[in-house]
Amino acid sequence: MTVAGIEISEDDYPEMDAVAAIQRGLHAFNQEMGGPYDREPVTVLARDAEGSVRGGLLGLTYWNWLFIDWLWLARDSRGQGLGSELLTRAEEIARRRGCTDAYTDTFSFQAPGFWERNGYVEFGRLDHMPRGHSRVWFRKAL
């Protein structure tokens, strides 16, 4: 299909150049509208005595916000305070970078109570995502 002289196509396996063009374009627009955001990764790992990763937190800081993208612990490492420690360390990194707020999203079957116990407040919910559950967004002032 062609619209205004531009061909529209579907691609289940796009070339990395195509993906990069979309990402660069959106990043440029976002910075044009919201200002430079100096995206920096945040990685905090939990390793056992043998050095195996038992959990961790992956996120980004930008526009004075910490975005927590992934927080996971191996099943046998849960309930010992490790998740809160990972989160505390990530928040400390974010504060050093000048962040004033944090946000994340999770599913109702994961651990929304964990976020609430750590001072996060729900600000959005998408019910039936997936069926029988919800996707939940949380935020916290740092």
Report domain extents, the chain.
2-141
The reply to whether the predicted model has a pTM over 0.85 is yes
Name residue 45's amino acid: L
Q: How confident is the model at residue 2 (pLDDT cuts 50, 70, 90)?
A: confident
Q: Predicted confidence band at 107 (pLDDT cuts at 50, 70, 90)?
A: very high
Of the CATH numbers 1.10.3260.10, 3.30.565.10, 2.60.40.150, 3.40.630.30, which one belongs to the domain with range 2-141? 3.40.630.30
Express each pLDDT in 127-138 by its tens digit: 999 999 999 999
- Rounded CA separation 32/48 (Å): 44
Instruction: At 38, give phi and psi (nearest 5°).
Output: 40, 60
